[in-house]
Amino acid sequence: MNITDNSTDTLLLELLKRGNMSAFEKVFTRYYSTLCAYSRLFIRSGDVCENIVQELMLWIWENHSELHINDSLSRYLFTATRNRCLKHISHEMVERRVLDEMHKKLHGQFESPDFYIVREL
């Protein structure tokens, strides 16, 4: 099957499910920049956005034979990108909370120097 710039998403998806590398490459080039820009609505770091989209594309290729996309390919990609961005944000929030707790505990273990001076008086 000859894949062109005019190939429909439906055709690309069918070929991708069969492991057609050209179809995957076309999906990647068609959506990569747009998905990176979309992910910037959620995440400030361009590098993080690119990583999220690259990981999504890698996951799609590695799981191409098991893809069950009932909606349009475009809708699936945007939804998956959004979900991965939200998951990243959630992980960042948990990490920040843990670091804050560690910081509080660390500083709670040691009294200020003024405390020791007052105790000695």
List the chain domain ranges: 9-86
Question: Higher-confidence residue: 92 or 13?
Answer: 13
Q: Tell me how far apart the alpha carbons of residues 118 and 102 are, in angstroms, rounded to a whole number.
A: 27
**Which whole number is the average pLDDT over 99-106?**
72
Is-contact 85 39, C-beta < 8 A? Answer: yes
Question: Higher-confidence residue: 69 or 2?
Answer: 69
pLDDT for the residue 91: 83
Span 23-52, pLDDT tens digits: 999 999 999 999 999 999 999 999 999 999
Residue 121 has pLDDT above 60, yes or no: no
Could you tell me which CATH class the domain 9-86 is placed in? mainly alpha
pLDDT for the residue 53: 98
Q: Which of 82, 75, 30 is nearest to 56 (CA)?
A: 82
pLDDT for the residue 15: 96
Mapped onto helix, strand or coil, the DSSP state of residue 9 is: helix
Is-contact 85 42, C-beta < 8 A? Answer: yes
Range of lowest pLDDT (87-91, 96-100, 113-117): 113-117
pLDDT for the residue 22: 96
3-state secondary structure 34-102: HHHHHHCCCCCCHHHHHHHHHHHHHHHHHCHHHCCCCCCHHHHHHHHHHHHHHHHHHHHHHHHHHHHHH
Residue with tokens 């909606």, as numbered in its chain: 71
Would you place residue 96 in the very low, low, confident or very high pLDDT band (cuts 50, 70, 90)? confident
Would you place residue 4 in the very low, low, confident or very high pLDDT band (cuts 50, 70, 90)? confident
Q: Which of 65, 41, 66 is nearest to 53 (CA)?
A: 41
